[in-house]
Amino acid sequence: MAIITISRAAFSGVEALAEALAGELGYRLYSREELLSDAAREFNALQSELESALIHKPGLLEGRGLKKLRFVQCARATIAKAVRADDMVYHGEAGHLLLGPLAHHLRVRAVVPNDARVANAMARCDMTRERATRYVAELDEKRSHWVKWMHGVDMNDPHSFDLMVNLGRIPAPSAMRLIIDTVRRDFQTTPASQKALDDLALQSEIRARVGVDEGIPDDRLDVVVDAGIVTIRTTARFMADVSKIGAIAKQIAGVTEVRSALKE
């Protein structure tokens, strides 16, 4: 079992590469659009708000952006649940950051020349070259700010990826072979990596379910999961909410025990 996430800038046109990879490997193909649709259905949220939470950092009137942080947790819970069920190729923003550096998660950054991205924007959005150039630059800026706000890293930081592929220089069939050889050789599931994914899936679903209940100040707590045992850590002021959180957690399959502890 393995997970491949392909991160790319807007209008990069890597869908064909992702589809070919999934077909060759026999993996499930999962797109950003499917992620948003699944998350909206699972957590009874507006897809437009989920999409905004994965693109835009909070505005001046949104304070610390707690609502957007909760939507991000919904997206993380959704993708973690999906990859637990299947080998997967995901293409879209944020997949590599939502799942993190699991041992069987190959994080690919596909780099496409800006001229090609502008041409794709012109064709798909019926724009002039000048307008498409501005639009692509605006999207890059917004996503760069979001990644910095949400994860504290540069969007193009090579340390966030395991493999960077310049599709302006490497033909797509060669890139596909490189990715396949790498995932088969170095990114197969181990018992430890499967446990890490299981823990992440439970932790993110608990955070998402608690976040949906806006009466619980979930920004004041930490949720730690270890093989089905959930530990909720918060300050003395918010310990009264632990029982509510525990009740939510116990309804989630895979949770075997709920504990509480004071944050240091």
In the chain, where are the structural domains located?
Answer: 3-191, 213-262
Give the architecture (CATH level 2) of 3-191.
3-Layer(aba) Sandwich (3.40)
Per-residue pLDDT, 256? 95
Per-residue pLDDT, 55? 75
pTM for this entry: 0.89
Distances (CA, A) of 67 to 57, 72, 73, 79: 11, 9, 10, 19
Quote the CA–CA distance of 167 and 97 in Å, as a whole number: 22
Quote the CA–CA distance of 151 and 133 in Å, as a whole number: 27
Tens digit of pLDDT per residue, the chain (264 long)?
Answer: 799 999 998 999 999 999 999 999 999 999 999 999 999 999 988 888 888 877 766 554 444 455 778 888 899 999 999 999 879 999 987 889 999 999 999 999 999 999 999 999 999 999 999 999 999 999 999 989 888 887 888 888 899 999 999 999 999 999 999 999 999 999 999 999 999 999 999 999 999 998 887 667 666 788 999 999 999 988 777 777 888 888 999 999 999 999 988 877
User: Is the separation of the CB atoms in 30 and 94 below 8 Å?
Assistant: no
Tell me whether residue 60 is exposed, middle or buried, using C-beta atoms within 10 angstroms of its C-beta: 0 to 12, 13 to 18, 19 or more: exposed
User: Structure tokens of 183?
Assistant: 């995932």
Side-chain-side CA neighbours of residue 153 (13 Å): 13
| Bridge partners, residue 110, by sequence | 165
